[in-house]
Amino acid sequence: MSTAETTRSLDTPPSSDLVSGESPREGGSDSMSIYSPKPKVIGNGYYLGSNSGIDPSMETIAPPAHASPTLLTVNPGSRSDSAMLLGEEGQIPPSILSPAFTPPTTPSTPLMGLAENTSPPMLMEELPKVNCMVRARIPTTTGTEIFLHLYQNNIDNKEHLAIVFGNRIRSRSLDAPREGETEMDRMIRGAYTGRLFPGRTSSHADDSPMSSQVPSRAASSTSLSNMAPTTQLTTPGSGTRTAPLVRIHSECYTGEIAWSARCDCGEQLDEAARLMSLDPAGGVVVYLRQEGRGIGLGEKLKAYNLQDLGNDTVQANLILRHPADARSYGLATAILMDLESVNIRLLTNNPDKIAAVEGPGKEVRVVERVPMIPLAWQNLKGGVTGKEVGDYLRTKITQMGHLLDLPANGN
């Protein structure tokens, strides 16, 4: 399934009309982030892992991505490929340390050093507030119909998305009545039950001939509060599975749009969609606009050049003064709560993502992890292959703790 349309930027200012997660608390957005390793920050801005030979006492708060770089002296005893880039004096040429021109707007907090990569992620103190602005039915090229939900939030000005499979999952914030709106307004923003058809006049009643095939949840505030959740707790691996499949997917322009074989992001998105379209419990792809593990597209492209110069995906981020992973998942937690999908089966190999998406108060529960095994490693067609993706996957396993066994053939 093509994902091009889901990644087009529609940046708008954050809305003041936001619906909160279930247990909002006081606090600033600076505490929003979780998940990623905390970098060592040298001087006013260079990140290195704890195996860098740098005095750990120098660890401090990460500066903004556009902060001026500070040159770094590396430990001569641990000279690596990346250190080779640092020049004869062990210093990074200023030309490498250009400011981030596409800094992420999703806030993230300090991250842990690489050696601490497997320790539990810090959880945010407060979930962001999210509001589903509009929803629309998308018939896809595979024949599966999806409902695309567009969200605004109170911590960045990006429009994050939820791609909903099946007809059981609805957004509370979308369905909530808005002051002064007409039935036509509701239908135009997607707050209808069932299916739209020419001449339909009510968002609630569905008198279409296809009504038996579509959801029939009423969309009033009283009926919403009485609604049963779309998910029920299941014992993993047994019984009827009613928890939806969920994929928390981070934007990857290169892998989803530019046919990149450097990563498996496009393959993962397609495979998640395929699995969800087959699953009776339905599914949600929460599509977070945190390109390049949160560093932005421009910085990711620089990281690719550094990879071509002999560094791996983690080293490249570090050389560019970014953490190995700058993402956060509070928005995903809040969106899943809004979709009343609080017991989920999560498609991931990333252990930190599991802990992070559950939220500070376990607002969401991952009742099962469903691994994402690269198609090529299963000898299936359609997978991304090649040296670059092989190196990338190996680094994620060996350095980022991803729960995946390297294939015996070393593919």
Ligand X SMILES: Nc1nc2c(ncn2[C@@H]2O[C@H](COP(=O)(O)OP(=O)(O)OP(=O)(O)O)[C@@H](O)[C@H]2O)c(=O)[nH]1
Q: Which residues bind ligand X (CB under 6 A)?
A: 250-252, 263, 265, 268, 290-293, 295, 300, 303, 313, 317, 348-350, 353, 372, 392, 396, 402
The two three-digit tokens of residue 365, written as one number: 């529960």
Distance of closest approach, residue 353 Cβ to ligand X, in angstroms: 5
Q: Is 325 a catalytic residue?
A: yes
Judged by beta carbon, residue 191 or residue 331, the one nearer ligand X is: 331
| Distance, CA of 173 to chain centre | 20
Distance of closest approach, residue 24 Cβ to ligand X, in angstroms: 26
Judged by beta carbon, residue 173 or residue 350, the one nearer ligand X is: 350
Judged by beta carbon, residue 52 or residue 317, the one nearer ligand X is: 317
- Helix, strand, coil percentages, rounded to 5, for the chain: 30, 15, 60
Distance of closest approach, residue 236 Cβ to ligand X, in angstroms: 18
d(CA 220, CA 223): 5
Q: Is 396 exposed, middle or buried (0-12, 13-18, 19+ CB in 10 A)?
A: buried
d(CA 206, CA 408): 55
Judged by beta carbon, residue 42 or residue 400, the one nearer ligand X is: 400
Distance of closest approach, residue 96 Cβ to ligand X, in angstroms: 15
Q: Is 143 exposed, middle or buried (0-12, 13-18, 19+ CB in 10 A)?
A: exposed
Instruction: Give the active site residue among 175, 312, 325, 338.
Output: 325
Q: What is the DSSP string of 243-293?
A: SPEEEEEE--HHHHTS--SS-SHHHHHHHHHHHHHH-TT-EEEEEE--GGG
Judged by beta carbon, residue 171 or residue 290, the one nearer ligand X is: 290
Q: Is 391 a catalytic residue?
A: no
Question: 107 near 314, Cβ under 8 Å?
Answer: no
For 321, other C-beta atoms within 10 Å of its C-beta total 29
Instruction: Give the active site residue among 327, 338, 352, 369.
Output: 327
285 vs 226, 350, 392, CA distance in Å?
A: 26, 16, 23
Judged by beta carbon, residue 41 or residue 326, the one nearer ligand X is: 326
Distance of closest approach, residue 76 Cβ to ligand X, in angstroms: 27
| Residue among 280, 286, 279, 275 nearest 338 (CA) | 286
Q: Which residues are catalytic?
A: 325, 327
